[in-house]
Amino acid sequence: MVIGTVVGSIVATRKNEKLVGQKLLIVRPLENMEVKDEFIAIDNVGAGIGETVLVARGSAARIGCGLESAPVDAAIVGIVDET
């Protein structure tokens, strides 16, 4: 899992049919995370720009957001209240 800050959103008018209706957000990992670069994640909890979030990656992301057969690599699964 990765802890990061939501820094933006992505709008894609054409995408895989399993991603239709999903909100896509740009996440910047915190400095002490192994992941260094920003990445795109499916928003599963209603996060907004500026919020600190918990992100599942890989197959855990697909399972965590109920999209087992969708092309998902990262999913926001929680909003962090305090670190």
Q: Which domain holds residue 29?
A: 2-79
DSSP state of 70: S
pTM > 0.85: yes
CA distances from 27 to 17, 39, 52 (A): 23, 5, 9
Concatenated DSSP letters for 33-56? SS--S-EEEEESS---TT-EEEEE
Q: Report the number of distinct structural domains present in the chain.
A: 1
- Spell 12-37 as b/e; 16+ CB within 10 A means b: eeeeeeeeeebbbbbbbbeeeeebee
Would you give per-residue pLDDT tens digits along the chain (83 residues)?
Answer: 899 999 999 998 888 888 888 899 999 999 877 778 999 999 989 999 999 999 999 888 777 667 777 788 899 999 999 87
CATH number reported for the structural domain that contains residue 37 in this entry: 2.40.50.220
